[in-house]
Structure 1
Amino acid sequence: MKINYRQLTFAREYRGYSQSELASNITGLSQPNLSKYEKGFNTLSDDMVEKIIEYLNFPKDWLYLNISNLPENANYRKKATITKKEKSKIEYGNRLIGYIVDQMSDSITWPEFNHAPLDIEEGHTPESIAKYARKTLGILPPDPVADINTLLENKGIVIVEIEAHEKFDGVSFLTDKGNPLIIINKNFSNDRKRRTLAHEYGHILMHCYFPIPKHRGEKEREDEADEFANEFLMPSDYIRNSLIGLRLGNLVELKTYWLTSIQSIIRRAKDLNCITKDRYTYFNIELSRLGIRKDEGINVYIDEPSLFKTAYNLHIDEIGFSDKDLSQAFTLPDDIILGTFKPNNLRVIHKIKMNA
């Protein structure tokens, strides 16, 4: 079987080495030759490639895999700076989670994705798709989206929380085997997690299952996902009346009911023309004066995702794998398995149907 040179790049980027840094640590390896190899030119011997992959602490068989899992909807904080190395670590880590989800599907059956996406090119809007999504999930018209993780997982979307850089919010994509996956940063407030989940859910329904024409670039897709999230979490038909004549004293009650941030409620009032631009500016000035733009001081409810954790528990408790066995079965380093699952924090929530 032929070595896949892209897998070496994958391992190097995941470990956080530049080509120069890696070359300086391995006798006989030069950066120019490594660069040519990673571009597909056969400039390195098989022995040298194995020497590199061993240094990176990946199993040799890793070189024969073909992992893509290329996410197109990574969501980073606007106006935030993040280094190339930090971004690569996050993105390759997310691709590994997609790979692990697919590897698990050899032993367990994930819930089927039974939620038909809708194509904006066929006349649907983010708002209409959000209304359809609420109906599909069984959310009664005036109600907030309460158990958002459970609702999405019951429709076949795997959700994984990770420890990540503070400037990373979340990402959504279809894995190489077609499993819809949302990965979010677990370190944020619950209202921000809920917003990220809704945003990424919008990406899955609107962008993951259809070819996207050039006139709808990244900015357009992000705007569409934001519009979806607004309508999904705060449906216009049911929040509008409570936003007319909005006062500072109303904000905590609205946040507690809709389970969204105060800032998103104020922005929703502006977008629905319930307050003027000047009033919107006033609210933001007041939030700054009160010191609650970064921390609103009220943490809303959110349930926890469970599918990924339960799948791990099934492999350990029922199929009989150890963490070492999982590393070998998935062709991954031990530290990736342990870092991904953190078994001491896991408990069985509910079981996934096993393959016969």
Structure 2
Amino acid sequence: MKTISVDRIKLARESRGLTQTSMAQQLSFNQATLSKIEKGLYHVNEEMISEIASILDYKKDFFYKSHEVYPLKHFYFRKNLGTTVTNSKKIESIINIFSSNIIDLTESVDIKVDLPYIDLEKEETTPEAFALFVRQYFNLPIGPVKNLVNILERQGIVVHFFDFNKDLKISGVSFITPDGIPLIIINNSIPNSRKRFTLVHELAHLLMHYKGGVIDENRDLEKEADRFASEFLIPTKEIKKHLFNLTEHTLFALKSHWKISIQALIYKANKSGAMTIDQHRRWITKINYNGWRKEEPFEFEIEAPSLLPKLFQLHFDDLEYSVDEVQNMFGLNHDEFYRCYIQNYPQLHSYYPKINRSKISLKLT
């Protein structure tokens, strides 16, 4: 007999941005009972879990999953300033749900992970030096990194573009599942130039901060990840000579060539010594004045992830799962499953037609 996971009740509630108080207002029982349920001190019956599932808009299957729930500090994520406590809990719950779903998908699939993890302090090296090593490890040629998403997937990293709500000020998140599968989730609403930098920023966290043991709390891990990303995408030796006396014209040309944001180029010029303090201050002022922090000119295309869609296709085609069966495995309703995993991948649309999708039940062969 399946057992209800009380951790999943709290996870579902926080993923909807609800406090115990606000949720209790919609329940037939009070907050005191809900609090005891979430702490495992009150037996929740089938009628109660049906009510909870209805209010939170999850399938009942969601609450019977046994995956461990991790605190936010277990994950690394690139966020904007101003994230509230409620939104932090919402981010934590969403990440945990993605993690459990990826675990479900990869249980039947062998993914070869080939990544060079490192302890920077033990090896007495820098993020920049390690970034150049990783470029060599990935067999990247000199010059811009082309097909970045495909390169990461080739190394066994599952990449997913997801449309986070605007109130969740997050650019990307990375973590390694208990089964050892690395996952990077990127906010699909951010500009493509920021997507590429965030991908490598999260790659840095995966390689430098997950398997190095206890990390000194005085280390600035976000700055380390930025330094790695900058050197990986635009190696100083290759780019520095082009960063002196920058003009808008040269910046736009460099952005198009290297597929990296204007802000990242200014960052590199400053850190590499190709720009004076006054020049850097003037460029930051111009960036702010032109609104380039939110939206830059001359954005470019970026390739979509292909590994995650292939995992779904394998389940649909080779393992003969129906769409409903995968949804039940995740515990997600039709619309949410579509929004989370289908809508951004055209190759999956034929499995899950938009028309009348609330009533769909496909038998795939």
Q: TM-score, normalised by structure 1?
A: 0.87
- Amino acid in the other structure paired with 2:240: R
Note closer, same or farther for the CA distance 1:74–1:292 as it changes in structure 2 (3 Å cut).
Answer: closer
Quote the RMSD (CA, aligned, Å).
2.3
Q: How does 1:252-267 map to 2 (within 5 A)?
A: 252-267=252-267
* C-alpha deviation, 1:224, in angstroms: 0.8
* C-alpha deviation, 1:190, in angstroms: 1.1
* C-alpha deviation, 1:48, in angstroms: 6.0
Q: Distance in 2 between matches of 1:195 and 1:293?
A: 14
The answer on whether the counterparts of 2:160 and 2:184 sit within 8 Å (CA) in structure 1 is yes
CA deviations 1:302-343 (Å, max 9, x no partner) are: 222111112112222333222111123344444442222226
The answer on whether the counterparts of 1:172 and 1:181 sit within 8 Å (CA) in structure 2 is yes
Q: Distance in 1 between matches of 2:292 and 2:215?
A: 40
- Other structure's SS at 1:184 match: strand
* C-alpha deviation, 1:35, in angstroms: 1.9
Aligned partner of 1:113 in structure 2 is 113
Aligned partner of 1:94 in structure 2 is 95
The answer on whether the counterparts of 1:270 and 1:280 sit within 8 Å (CA) in structure 2 is yes
The answer on whether the counterparts of 1:248 and 1:283 sit within 8 Å (CA) in structure 2 is no
- Amino acid in the other structure paired with 1:246: L
The answer on whether the counterparts of 1:240 and 1:269 sit within 8 Å (CA) in structure 2 is yes
Q: Distance in 1 between matches of 2:332 and 2:170?
A: 24
Q: Distance in 2 between matches of 1:345 and 1:236?
A: 35
Aligned partner of 1:315 in structure 2 is 315
1:73 partnered with 2:66:
no
Pick the aligned partner of 1:177 from 166, 176, 179.
179
- Other structure's SS at 2:347 match: coil
Aligned partner of 2:14 in structure 1 is 13
* C-alpha deviation, 1:266, in angstroms: 1.3
Number of corresponding residues: 340
Aligned partner of 2:137 in structure 1 is 136
1:124 partnered with 2:125:
yes
The answer on whether the counterparts of 1:309 and 1:346 sit within 8 Å (CA) in structure 2 is no
- Amino acid in the other structure paired with 2:49: E
Which has the larger displacement, 56-65 or 157-166? 56-65
Which has the larger displacement, 60-69 or 152-161? 60-69
Which has the larger displacement, 61-70 or 272-281? 61-70
Note closer, same or farther for the CA distance 1:45–1:289 as it changes in structure 2 (3 Å cut).
Answer: closer
Q: How does 1:1-356 map to 2 (within 5 A)?
A: 2-27=3-28, 29-40=29-40, 42-47=41-46, 49-55=48-54, 56-68=56-68, 70=70, 71-77=74-80, 79=81, 81-110=82-111, 112-122=112-122, 123-141=124-142, 143-166=143-166, 167-216=169-218, 220-290=220-290, 292-342=292-342, 345-347=345-347
Q: Distance in 2 between matches of 1:3 and 1:249?
A: 60
- Other structure's SS at 1:173 match: strand
- Amino acid in the other structure paired with 1:135: Q
Q: Distance in 2 between matches of 1:266 and 1:72?
A: 28
- Amino acid in the other structure paired with 1:188: I
Q: Distance in 2 between matches of 1:99 and 1:259?
A: 33
Q: Distance in 2 between matches of 1:47 and 1:286?
A: 60
Note closer, same or farther for the CA distance 1:113–1:162 as it changes in structure 2 (3 Å cut).
Answer: same
* C-alpha deviation, 1:212, in angstroms: 3.0
Q: Distance in 2 between matches of 1:339 and 1:246?
A: 42
- Amino acid in the other structure paired with 1:294: K
- Other structure's SS at 2:312 match: helix
Aligned partner of 2:360 in structure 1 is none
Q: Distance in 2 between matches of 1:30 and 1:333?
A: 26
Note closer, same or farther for the CA distance 1:212–1:346 as it changes in structure 2 (3 Å cut).
Answer: farther
* C-alpha deviation, 1:230, in angstroms: 0.9
CA deviations 1:178-233 (Å, max 9, x no partner) are: 2100000111211110010010000000012222324345xx11111011111111
- Other structure's SS at 1:66 match: coil
Segments of 5+ residues of structure 1 without an aligned counterpart are 349-356
- Other structure's SS at 2:76 match: coil
- Amino acid in the other structure paired with 1:229: A
- Amino acid in the other structure paired with 1:328: N
The answer on whether the counterparts of 1:130 and 1:228 sit within 8 Å (CA) in structure 2 is yes
CA deviations 1:145-187 (Å, max 9, x no partner) are: 1110000000000000001134210000011322100000111
* C-alpha deviation, 1:44, in angstroms: 4.2
- Other structure's SS at 1:245 match: coil
Q: Distance in 2 between matches of 1:342 and 1:317?
A: 16
- Other structure's SS at 1:58 match: coil
* C-alpha deviation, 1:50, in angstroms: 2.3
Which has the larger displacement, 239-248 or 330-339? 330-339
Note closer, same or farther for the CA distance 1:35–1:128 as it changes in structure 2 (3 Å cut).
Answer: same
